[in-house]
Structure 1
Amino acid sequence: MRPLLLLLLMCVFGFNGADSEAGEKQPLKIGDHRELFVDDYLIGKMKNVRLSLHHPVDEGIVLKFDKPWEGLFCGYCTIIKDGDLYRAYYRGRPEAGADGDTGEVYCYAESKDGIHWTKPEFSLYEKQGFKKNNIILADAAPMTHNLSPFLDTRPGVPKAERYKALGGTMKSGLVAFTSPDGIHWKQHPAGTVISKKMVPFPYMFDSQNVAFWSPVEKKYISYFRVFKDRIRRIARTESDDFIHWSEPVLMEYTHRGEKSPIEHLYTNQTHPYFRAPHIYLAVAARFMPGRQVLTDEQAKEIGVHPRYFKDTSDAILMTTRGGNMYDRTFLSGFITGGIGAQNWVSRTNYPALNVVQTGPAEMSVYVNQDYAQPTAHLRRYSLRLDGFASVRADYAGGELVTKPLIFDGSELSINFSTSAAGGIKVEIQDEQGKPIPGFTLADAREQIGNEVDRIVTWKGGSDVSALSGKPVRLKFVMKDADLYSLQFVK
């Protein structure tokens, strides 16, 4: 009877055995990684504080899709920061047509600051009677429907394959491309590397299908669109060489430890965050089919194509740290439709792939807007570095205590902001929650201001190296303040 009783207790209380129970108590090994408060990963206890989603600031139009070979149906944008150069890639399509037909091309623009963009003139393909244009790939249907380039950061990657891309529809599968410079592209001899035969879903690939080299997992990872139960979902696969890919797995969603609502996600735009590459950000396009906002009269007034105002969409924020689970900590919209009818049509407000740094304390995300309209364009939105979300304390004040963690470093840096009346104090505790002498609240110096990299100090200074490698907890006592991220530095 004892084994049966134990089994019943394990089922009732959710235990999976001694290893799991012990695993729950194992300190997090964060090393010197930057940790963002975009999920519950670090959070042990919160009292009168909350996780708060922040919304990017509209900085205006950066690219108008106004060339004859671009037009109303430009989309599936990618932004890549390559050293001091910013590159933009996007589909050009002036007229409506079937996905993957010959009317689609891929276009290119570049910038030195991510803010002011130009369209170089190449002579690679003649289109619409123009021998000079910004087209970098044409006559390659159906891959020009949704080509998604990335800068391959794998150590030792051949110079001729410094850039890679996937593109294609269900008809072709996902086809591999390579480029030495991000401009001159050729199909990889392997051709289709992710075929429909590999994917256990009835429909797939018909949006932007992304890939990247993960420096943490040390593998190529791809996230691509599938349908399950008639809902647009995301699948993940991985590869050691970009050519041979594992059996895809369906991504699931969690929200504060519970199952998340399943919504149509048109594009996923999953990529490693450049300041914390172990955290993959997904600034995804949420699609609301049949949720019509505009009347026929409003649609006619803004000149939207008659097939493209019966739905609406916006952008949401998700994260994943690997595996087949997205964390939807925030269910509400991240970038929502702006004022004006033009922002409430089908397939608008679709984010470009990648968030990039555009200033000492600024990063940018780009959004495809006014879809299927003569005013179609790419727009820039800005955030402070790490500023997707924060632990927020109001004027009354509150506290955050982390889970036990093990760090590697000699100083603690925080990205934070306060009001003139607010502040943050940091206490370091042992694994059981007992304040460590020299690092107690009484020893802590209050941090006041607004900085992306402030070294925390106590009466004895900032050196925490004596605690490096040992399990500790961090206690933040906050008032009218936001804590965006933390990192132990050497």
Structure 2
Amino acid sequence: MKTKFSGILLFFLVATASAQTLSNGIQLPEPWPPQYPVPAERHEMPVPYLLHKPRVMPVNNGRQLFVDDFLISQTNLRRVCHTPDFYRGNPVLEPTEKWENTTEGAPYAAPFSDGIWYDEKENIYKMWYLAGAGTMHKESNQTFYTCYAESKDGKKWTKVKLDVVPGTNIVDTCMRDAATVWLDRFEKDPRKRWKFFNIERSSSDKRWQVVLKYSSDGRKWSRGVAQSGDIYDRSTAFYNPFTHRWALSLRYATPVSGRSRAYIENADPETLVSLTHRFRYDIADRNMRFWFAPDDKELRHEKYPEVDPGIYNFDVIPYESIMLGQYAAWAGPENNVCKRDGIQKRNVISLGYSRDGFHFYRPTHEAFMNVNETEGAWNWGNMQSANGTPLIVGDSLYFYASGRRLNKIMWDSYTSTGLVMLRRDGFVSMRAGRKEGFLTTEPLTFDGKYLFVNVDVRRKGGLLAVELLDIDGHVIPGYGRKDCHVLRGMDKTKLRVTWKKHGEVTTLAGKAVRMKFYLARGDLYAFWLSPWESGESRGFTAGGGPGLNAGGVDVKLLVSGKN
């Protein structure tokens, strides 16, 4: 960390009076959200909880991922960042209907954040996406509506005809830019189960506003129940269940870049929207915060190296024990150059990880979902993430994204929706080669009975063993390496760890314990403690998935199959 930020970090680390303590032991500083100065130059976002860790870390909620050094005390393993496999049947949804075209015939059929979720109550995949509406509003050059589709497997999608505009799958006719459709699994009022944060044009002055709407099923929406002040386009919303607050990720301009982000949060989504407005960094606002600007490690476009990269958008969702952030990392060129050269701007999707929902750590700036700049590719340029993703489908995570192909109708058009698949928890692994390595955690506490791991040791000579230590690093009798049933020749996203005299860790519950993992020729992705032999993690399930609890937390289902 650069020394010029040490004073800022120190302030936020020590100003913790009346601070909220999260389930992972992190104590949020006061004031919260933190109020960092707007930068005049590029630097990475500070992550205070990595510099000042909790003395003991509770690990009761969710799979524990090695996306940063938070859990790690010592290791000689190598961190590896993984990328997903693109589905061979892409795109899974593309423009096919006349109402998906703009007035100039430019086709659009893909989420602009929007949402792709699995609804466990209806046992179906649901998608909301931006589509052209030229046939509905010919007087407007580029008017966009919101459309809806469903799927039984997440791969083949049906554009369901509804009655909002008879004969079409349009679910909202307001002129829009980006949007967020959020499945609120913690909402007690069934009429508000689905929340729609739509970036709409004001009918009076044509400026952008956030408008909040509700639905019980996502097919029929209420009128707006709250509106923001004037904002910039390309803004989205999310819920942080660790802090129990809603937040808006807002497009924002700083001296570093016009593609930076601002932040606002509130426990009530209607209040959140009502308090939101364009934010000036020269005014002390009690609600709005500068969040982050593009840093000095952003990827540059090799054909337009003069362009300073920006963050086009930032979507966030809870996954297991972390908040997962998807950056639309923009490398240029600007719109006028794209139009001149007949190309799409380059946005790739990269990932960041947070344990408090505000500070995000990026182990790599390389693309997680990359463009494919070959003729005819559905994602030649301008990839954008979708809210609700990832979905948990068995041992895989389903991510969806929009992409734009080259076309001669209108340079910034022809969007389709693609699917990529990643191993469950497969963002980052700790890897050992032929020589055996180790990883020792910080002191942990837990209340679960059974230890599980997500590990790949299928190669010849691959192994994983786990040793439990007291807080001073001494082996706890009966839980040493020599007592552990070593895992060999396996590749599973859920494997239980046992010892010769102990099939569980109940007697250690509530005590400060370190875990020491011994690994050879393999990858360790996650570990967690579960109250159940079936291994549910009690973590957050992001966009959901088949067979998961409809409450949004990975807990054991009742025998009847009901949640």
Report 1:300-449 matches (<5 A). Answer: 309=343, 311-338=345-372, 340-341=374-375, 348-357=382-391, 359-371=393-405, 373=407, 376-418=415-457, 419-448=459-488, 449=490
Q: How far is 1:39 from its partner?
A: 2.2
SS of match in other structure, 1:154: coil
SS of match in other structure, 1:62: coil
Look up the match of 2:508: 467
Q: CA RMSD in A?
A: 3.3
TM-score, scaled to structure 2? 0.71
Against the structure 1 CA distance between its residues 321 and 24, is the aligned structure 2 distance closer, same or farther, given a 3 Å change threshold? closer
- Alpha-carbon deviations, 1:351-382, whole Å to 9, x = none? 22222435321120012123464863211100
Q: Which stretch of the first structure deviates more once superposed, 335-344 or 416-425?
A: 335-344
**1:180 equivalent among 209, 216, 239:** 216
Is the Cα–Cα contact under 8 Å of residues 383 and 402 in structure 2 kept in the other structure?
Answer: yes
Is the Cα–Cα contact under 8 Å of residues 109 and 417 in structure 2 kept in the other structure?
Answer: no
Look up the match of 2:197: 166
- The 1-side partners of 2:219 and 2:261 are apart by 28
Against the structure 1 CA distance between its residues 309 and 108, is the aligned structure 2 distance closer, same or farther, given a 3 Å change threshold? same
Identity %: 24
Q: How far is 1:396 from its partner?
A: 2.2
- The 2-side partners of 1:238 and 1:372 are apart by 38
Structure (1 or 2) with the greater strand fraction: 1
- Alpha-carbon deviations, 1:103-135, whole Å to 9, x = none? 21111111112122111112322xxxxx41111
- The 2-side partners of 1:63 and 1:218 are apart by 34
Against the structure 1 CA distance between its residues 254 and 74, is the aligned structure 2 distance closer, same or farther, given a 3 Å change threshold? closer
Name stretches of at least 5 consecutive residues in structure 1 with no aligned partner. 1-9, 126-130, 197-203, 297-303
Is the Cα–Cα contact under 8 Å of residues 378 and 416 in structure 2 kept in the other structure?
Answer: no
Look up the match of 1:452: 493
Matched, 1:54 2:82: yes
Is the Cα–Cα contact under 8 Å of residues 132 and 142 in structure 2 kept in the other structure?
Answer: no
Look up the match of 1:136: 171
**1:106 equivalent among 146, 168, 182:** 146
- The 2-side partners of 1:462 and 1:378 are apart by 46
Is the Cα–Cα contact under 8 Å of residues 411 and 488 in structure 1 kept in the other structure?
Answer: yes
SS of match in other structure, 2:522: strand
Q: How far is 1:476 from its partner?
A: 0.8
Q: Which stretch of the first structure deviates more once superposed, 370-379 or 462-471?
A: 370-379
Is the Cα–Cα contact under 8 Å of residues 30 and 406 in structure 1 kept in the other structure?
Answer: yes
Q: How far is 1:210 from its partner?
A: 2.1
- The 2-side partners of 1:231 and 1:46 are apart by 40
Is the Cα–Cα contact under 8 Å of residues 290 and 311 in structure 1 kept in the other structure?
Answer: yes
Q: How far is 1:172 from its partner?
A: 3.6
- The 2-side partners of 1:361 and 1:186 are apart by 36
Is the Cα–Cα contact under 8 Å of residues 312 and 347 in structure 2 kept in the other structure?
Answer: no
Look up the match of 1:145: 177
- The 1-side partners of 2:217 and 2:328 are apart by 29
How many corresponding residue pairs? 442
Is the Cα–Cα contact under 8 Å of residues 150 and 159 in structure 2 kept in the other structure?
Answer: yes
Is the Cα–Cα contact under 8 Å of residues 259 and 294 in structure 2 kept in the other structure?
Answer: no
- The 1-side partners of 2:164 and 2:52 are apart by 57
- Alpha-carbon deviations, 1:230-263, whole Å to 9, x = none? 33122222222211126122224899xxx96695
- Alpha-carbon deviations, 1:284-316, whole Å to 9, x = none? 211112289xxx9xxxxxxx9767626312110
- The 2-side partners of 1:65 and 1:416 are apart by 40
- The 1-side partners of 2:162 and 2:200 are apart by 27
- The 1-side partners of 2:365 and 2:219 are apart by 38
Look up the match of 1:87: 126
Look up the match of 1:239: 266
- The 2-side partners of 1:169 and 1:137 are apart by 11
Look up the match of 2:163: 123
- The 2-side partners of 1:135 and 1:433 are apart by 60
Is the Cα–Cα contact under 8 Å of residues 314 and 326 in structure 2 kept in the other structure?
Answer: yes
SS of match in other structure, 1:90: strand
TM-score, scaled to structure 1? 0.81
- The 1-side partners of 2:344 and 2:450 are apart by 54
